Amino acid sequence: MKDYIIIGGGTAGCILASRLSEDVTARVTLVEAGGSGDGLLYRMPAGYLQLMKSGNGNWGFHSVPQAGLGGRAMYFPRGRVLGGSGALNGLVYVRGNPGDFDHWARLGNRGWSYSDCLPFFRAIECFEGGEDDYRGGDGPIGVSIAAKPDDMSPIGQALMAAAAEAGFPATPDYNGAQQEGFARANANVSRGRRQSSASTYLAAARGRRNLRIVTNAMTTRILLRGGRAYGVEYRHKGRTVQLETSGEVILAGGAINSPQLLQLSGIGPAALLRDHGVPMVHDLPGVGENLQDHVGVMVKQEITQPYSALAYTQPLKALMALSQYLLSGTGPATSNGMEVLAFLKSRPGIDYPDVQYHFPMLLYTDHGREIIQREGFSAYANGLRPNSRGRVTIASADPAAAPRIDPNYFSDPDDLRVTRDAIHMARALIAQPALDGFRGPELEPGKDVRDDTALNAFIKRTAVSVYHPVGTCSMGQGPLAVVDDRLRVHGVEGLRVVDASIMPTITSGNTNAPTMMIAERAAAFIAGIDPVHHD
């Protein structure tokens, strides 16, 4: 019998559990540190703001103080619930640029070019716009288009018109043939409900007799003997449980928890393990290295008419929207509030976009935990392919202790340059005639913040994580690689890592969709049914 233990019921883990348990001869156990994620806020797309405020289903991590942010520590939310961060996030669906995956292949990773990955992206999707050469039509994850052009809010329509006036390109589908340009946003929403991997893939698999799901069970170490993983140890209901397998252990804890657990289990940089009194099983220097994240700033623009989502944060309107959702599954609560996305180049001559914009129709601060009581929208900009690299390391041999997260933001000065350029382009957009009827004062950075020195200070004071950490168990063959191109941990038998941590370089956009693709791709490798490449 094929026997799999999956550690982590997040975006990737739920997909793996579903796909691997399709084989009735297999036995699959999924171990998740958090709860089941049932409840209205996890179903309702607009619930993500309240989830962020409450901290429910969230590890609630923080980075170490960042020199590139003026010594600020960054709030670093990560999902601790079935569905993982995909059960909490803003539901924005972005695959990345084809060039991202072709780059992975050029680094020597067989079967990870865009043409190799495209069938697995298509397998994920049930796309509202219909199936074509790029998009899937009957996959588990419903993907919707934010709004038809004539259904967009006045601000959304004005932004699209302003983009054309500014000479920025447009694209009918940034997940299709062309990423570059302004476009209507795609969202993990179908029939008014969030489409996480838990509510789709895992929900469809729950009745299978060969699948066991253990929640509220924090894995404390991977069991290793003779160079092979043979099980896991976890804490559940006050007891320490050891679970063994004759097959594979698959680590799907995400870019923070996966390197942490490898290090706690004795797999990682020898000096780090020695410093924390963890017996070394396998010296693997790259575990926890290569941390990459998108970091963004907001050009906050006040508007002179009540076209933002501010009204729906007030008690009466919020209650009306909630009532409509509960009665009919329709209305404002079915939206994540994101109508427009854009992918642009910060300068001529680069191969593909290196800046992304979200346009939330609400002014807020502190990661959405504080709403600014003014009508407005933000051009929320981030560089897509930062050069800065950080690391994740254990802070203690105690599995309950939070890891030390050091993204090392803006340690490469070109990341600051890209972010400054993104602010300039956002201001050029907002200055266009299409927004003349709405434009109030620029709240941030503010009209007097213009030169590089002032913009750098603004960026360091206000920049926030876009919650896209990747890379800490990097795929490849180099000295800091952790897994091979079939996601097997170098030097350890029976152990794979399948999550965003395996990305050698960050994708050009939100990272939930490519993480789903990675899980689909890995399931094919593991089950031996990969239609693209065979070992």
Instruction: Report d(CA 306, CA 327) in Å as an integer.
Output: 26
State residue 529's pLDDT score: 78
Rg for the chain, CA atoms, rounded: 22
**Cβ(145)–Cβ(129) below 8 Å:** yes
Amino acid of residue 287: V
Residue 215: phi and psi, rounded to 5, are: -105, 170
> What is the reported pTM?
0.97
- For residue 212, what is the DSSP state? E
- For residue 199, what is the DSSP state? I
State residue 147's pLDDT score: 73
**Cβ(476)–Cβ(504) below 8 Å:** yes
Residue 17's contacts (CB-CB under 8 Å, 6 or more residues apart) are 6, 9, 28, 30, 201, 202, 205, 211, 213
Is residue 533 helix, strand or coil? Answer: coil
Of the candidates 468, 490, 533, 534, the residue annotated as catalytic is: 468
Can 534 be counted among the known catalytic residues?
Answer: no
The length of the chain in residues reads 535
Q: What is the 3-state secondary structure (H, E, C) of 316-356?
A: HHHHHHHHHHHHHCCCHHHCCCCCEEEEECCCCCCCCCCEE
For residue 162, the surrounding DSSP H or E stretch is helix 154-166
| CB neighbourhood size of 366 (10 A) | 11
**What is the Cα 51 distance to its own chain's centre?**
16
State residue 445's pLDDT score: 98
Q: What is the pLDDT along the chain (535 residues), one digit of tens a residue?
A: 799 999 999 999 999 999 999 999 999 999 999 999 999 999 999 999 899 888 999 999 999 999 999 999 999 999 999 999 999 999 999 999 999 999 999 999 999 999 999 999 999 999 999 999 999 999 999 999 987 777 899 999 999 999 999 999 999 999 999 999 999 999 999 999 999 999 999 999 999 999 999 999 999 999 999 999 999 999 999 999 999 999 999 999 999 999 999 999 999 999 999 999 999 999 999 999 999 999 999 999 999 999 998 999 999 999 999 999 999 999 999 999 999 999 999 999 999 999 999 999 999 999 989 999 999 999 999 999 999 999 999 999 999 999 999 999 999 999 999 999 999 999 999 999 999 999 999 999 999 999 999 999 999 999 999 999 999 999 999 999 999 999 999 999 999 999 999 999 999 999 999 999 999 999 999 988 776 554 4
State residue 535's pLDDT score: 46
State residue 534's pLDDT score: 44
- Greatest extent of the chain over all pairs of C-alpha atoms, in Å: 70
Amino acid of residue 25: T
The DSSP secondary structure of 490-511, one letter per residue, reads TT-BTEEE-SGGG-SS--SS-S
Tokens standing for residue 325: 């959702």
- For residue 459, what is the DSSP state? H
The DSSP bridge pattern shows strands 2-7 and 26-31 to be parallel
**What is the Cα 517 distance to its own chain's centre?**
12
Instruction: Report d(CA 348, CA 362) in Å as an integer.
Output: 31
Instruction: Report d(CA 420, CA 297) in Å as an integer.
Output: 9
Distances (CA, A) of 150 to 108, 284, 358, 434, 497: 46, 55, 20, 16, 44
The DSSP secondary structure of 392-411, one letter per residue, reads EE-SSS-TTSPPEEE--TT-
Residue 485's contacts (CB-CB under 8 Å, 6 or more residues apart) are 108, 109, 110, 111, 112, 475, 476
Instruction: Report d(CA 355, CA 415) in Å as an integer.
Output: 11
Span 147-184+295-383+411-462 CATH architecture: 2-Layer Sandwich (3.30)
